[in-house]
Every structure is written in structure tokens, then in C-alpha cells.
Amino acid sequence: MTAQIIDGKAFAAALRARVGGVATAFETASGRKAGLAVVLVGEDPASAVYVRSKGKATLAANMASFEHKLPADTAQADLIALVDRLNADPAVDGILVQLPLPAHLDEQAVLLRINPNKDVDGFHPVNAGRLATGLPGFVPCTPLGCLMLLQDQLGDLSGKEAVVIGRSNIVGKPMAALLTAASCTVTLAHSRTRDLAAHVSRADIVVAAVGRAGFVKGEWLKPGATVIDVGINRVEGGLVGDVEFDSAACVAGAITPVPGGVGPMTIACLLRNTLVAAHRNAGVELDEAAL
Ligand SMILES: Nc1nc(=O)c2c([nH]1)NC[C@@H]1CN(c3ccc(C(=O)N[C@@H](CCC(=O)O)C(=O)O)cc3)C=[N+]21
């Protein structure tokens, strides 16, 4: 093995500590805590674990956490009514509706209902449009965390060849937009891409977000490439990413592990986005670049 292991867990802990410090200053300046509301519909055990760890991290960063647990058979109108109440609540700066929702609910309609200025997930089409056009808004937490790890690892990304594998609204598309804004030459690959290995072999940066265990092989990589593995796949024996770790670690210059890579960054960036929302909502100034 030659690759450096990118310690997302440690980077996320440092980010959460910085957020906690600024959150304390925000409370002094505004007379209230920054607040995050998390809505969980149904009893999916994995979702319940994530929601609990988000709540814990929110409190540890000196922010207020509001958890709303609704039964699996919640009606669309009741979920929309809750979103409306959270939109109107001045103690709530950020709203996260845990996905996926039960199949009878219209996910798109719920996301559209969230006030874009409280949309700390960055899933509202208004925020997708802001990202695409370079306006200030909210960037989805997972790709934001990936960008931070890449900039920490490589410094200026300008001119680098980046291949993003996966075109979801939550990871692939916003990741491609962020790398484009950072002046990379970006290839957005997906399930219909022909000769993916040839694209990957030219990349200085590979971001894998396909949701298939061990899909990206080490032999595809350019020696020294930086590999960001967004995948979280449950297999016999634990969690694995979308990159075949052992073969990739022999070729890459640096690689994120699963777990302990991108996952912890997602939660740290959620706290960061919530704190940014609080400053904007309260009209308190913040040097966002320093967070
Ligand atoms: N509206 C919404 N926003 C989300 O951001 C959102 C969501 N819905 N639904 C579910 C996914 C998943 N997600 C993760 C967050 C943290 C880890 C994480 O911290 N993982 C750790 C440990 C994982 C474990 O041990 O189970 C790691 O990779 O090291 C993983 C996954 C956020 N999501």
C-alpha cells in the first residue's frame, strides 16, 4: 500500500470544533442559539441512527436541536404542515427532512416546501440553481465535505482533471458544479458512460458516488490520483465504499476510507450550513471562508 489515508473523521472533528466556537459567539451576538430541526418519518433503523448522531453533534456544537419523529403512515398534508410551522419558527435556522421518505409521500413536494433560506441540505431547486450560477446559497453537505477534503489535500484545484462517477442531485451533480467552480476540468460519468476506466485513468481527482460496493478498481487509476469514496455499502463484515480499497490504495496518492472518510464530513458540513443560515437569518456578519 502506498496511498496516504485521508482522515475525514479527524478533519470533521476539527470542523465541528470550529463551528462550536463560532456558534458560541453567535449566541452572544444574537441572544439565541442557532437551531437545526430534523424531521424523521417512519422507523427505518439506519435513519434513526443518523438522526440521533446529528442531534448529538448539534448539541455538542452549542446549537439547538429540534427532533420531529412522525409515524410511518403520516399523511402528506401533515408533513407539509410541519414544514410550514418550521419555516415560520424563528428559533429554527435549518430544516432537514431525512430521506428517503416512505413510498406514499411525495419527496419532491416536501423539499420544494422548505424555505430555501433554511434548506441546509441544499436540496431545494433554488439552491441547486444558486450553486449552478455561482450565487450564495446552501451546498449539499456531502459534496461540500468532499471539496473541503480535496482542498486540504491538494491546495488549489485549478486545472486538475476530475472525474465524478454518479449523477444524483444529492452528490454527483453538485460535486461536478463545485469542482467546475474550483476550475477543475470535470467529467461527470454515470451508468451509461462508455469505457469508464479510460476516463478514470486520466483523472487527478476521482469522486465515486455510485452506490455499488467496490465498483471502482485500483487498476483504473492514474498513479498518484486523489480518490474520494462517497459510497456507504453494507456488506457481510461491515461497511465498504464504492472503491475497491485494497487495489486502489496501491495506486492512488491519497484515498478516503469507509467508514471514517466522507461520512463524518457530511454531518460536520450540516452543522456548518446551519450556523451560516443562522447568521444570515439573524443579520449577524460571518466570515464564511474562515469556517
Ligand atoms: N435529508 C437528508 N440529508 C442527509 O444528509 C442524509 C439523508 N437525508 N439521508 C441519509 C443520508 C446518509 N447520511 C450520512 C451521514 C453521515 C454518515 C456517517 O457519519 N458515516 C460514518 C459511520 C457510518 C456507520 O458506522 O454506520 C462514516 O462513514 O464513517 C453516513 C451517512 C446522510 N444522509
Whether residues 234 and 147 fall in one domain? yes
CA distance 148 to 34: 23
**Block residue for cell numbers 410511518:** 72
Query: Is the separation of the CB atoms in 190 and 165 below 8 Å?
Result: yes
Confidence (pLDDT) at 46: 87
Instruction: State pLDDT tens for residues 113-171.
Output: 999 999 999 999 999 999 999 999 999 999 999 999 999 999 999 999 999 999 999 99
Q: Is residue 56 part of a domain?
A: yes
Instruction: State pLDDT tens for residues 255-282.
Output: 999 999 999 999 999 999 999 999 999 9
Beta carbon of 107 within 6 Å of any ligand 1 atom: no
Grid coordinates given for 160: 486538475
Known binding residues are: 166-168, 232
| Total domains, the chain | 2
CA of 31 to the centre of ligand 1 (A): 31
Beta carbon of 66 within 6 Å of any ligand 1 atom: no
Q: Is residue 240 part of a domain?
A: yes
- What domain range includes position 54? 30-116
Whether residues 104 and 66 fall in one domain? yes
Beta carbon of 266 within 6 Å of any ligand 1 atom: yes
Q: In ligand 1, which atom is closest to the CA atom of 121?
A: 3
Whether residues 259 and 160 fall in one domain? yes
**290: pLDDT confidence band, cut at 50, 70 and 90?**
confident
Q: Tell me, what CATH number does 97's domain have? A: 3.40.50.10860
For range 199-222, the mean pLDDT? 98
Residues paired with 226 in a beta bridge: 205, 254
Whether residues 102 and 182 fall in one domain? no
- What beta strand segments (E) does 190-255 contain? 205-208, 226-229, 233-235, 238-240, 254-255
Q: Is residue 198 scored above 80 in pLDDT?
A: yes
Confidence (pLDDT) at 79: 98
**ipTM for the predicted complex:** 0.97
Whether residues 51 and 149 fall in one domain? no
Q: What share of the chain is helix, strand, coil (3-state, %, to 5)?
A: 45, 15, 40
Q: Tell me, what CATH number does 188's domain have? A: 3.40.50.720
**Closest by Cα among 61, 41, 62 to 51:** 41
Using CA positions, which residue lies closest to atom 20 of ligand 1?
Answer: 263
Upstream peptide bond of 116 is cis (omega within 30 degrees of 0): no
For residue 173, CA distances in Å to 114, 140, 192, 243 come to 20, 10, 15, 19
Beta carbon of 263 within 6 Å of any ligand 1 atom: yes
Q: In ligand 1, which atom is closest to the CA atom of 142?
A: 5
Residue 73 is classified by DSSP as: T
Q: Is residue 101 part of a domain?
A: yes
Catalytic residue IDs = 54, 98, 121
Beta carbon of 119 within 6 Å of any ligand 1 atom: no
Whether residues 82 and 176 fall in one domain? no
pTM: 0.98
Q: Which of 50, 56, 120 has most ligand 1 atoms within 8 Å of its beta carbon, as the pocket-test mutant?
A: 50
Known binding residues for NADP(+) are: 166-168, 232
For range 190-195, the mean pLDDT? 97
Using CA positions, which residue lies closest to atom 16 of ligand 1?
Answer: 263
Q: Is residue 54 part of a domain?
A: yes
- The one-letter amino acid code at 150 reads L
Whether residues 84 and 177 fall in one domain? no
CA of 51 to the centre of ligand 1 (A): 9
Whether residues 51 and 162 fall in one domain? no
CA distance 212 to 33: 40
For residue 240, CA distances in Å to 94, 191, 220, 267, 270 come to 30, 20, 18, 19, 23
Whether residues 94 and 163 fall in one domain? no
CA distance 230 to 165: 10
Using CA positions, which residue lies closest to atom 1 of ligand 1?
Answer: 98
**Block residue for cell numbers 444529492:** 170
Instruction: State pLDDT tens for residues 34-50.
Output: 999 999 999 888 899 99
- The one-letter amino acid code at 12 reads A
Whether residues 154 and 249 fall in one domain? yes
Q: Is residue 1 scored above 90 in pLDDT?
A: no
Whether residues 101 and 170 fall in one domain? no
**90: pLDDT confidence band, cut at 50, 70 and 90?**
very high
| Mean pLDDT over each residue of the chain, to the nearest integer | 97
Q: Is residue 6 part of a domain?
A: no
Whether residues 214 and 107 fall in one domain? no
Beta carbon of 256 within 6 Å of any ligand 1 atom: no
For residue 76, CA distances in Å to 71, 73, 104, 105 come to 12, 9, 8, 6
CA distance 146 to 150: 6
CA distance 243 to 199: 15
Using CA positions, which residue lies closest to atom 31 of ligand 1?
Answer: 263
**What percentage of the chain reaches a pLDDT higher than 90?**
96
Q: Is residue 284 part of a domain?
A: no
For range 68-87, the mean pLDDT? 98
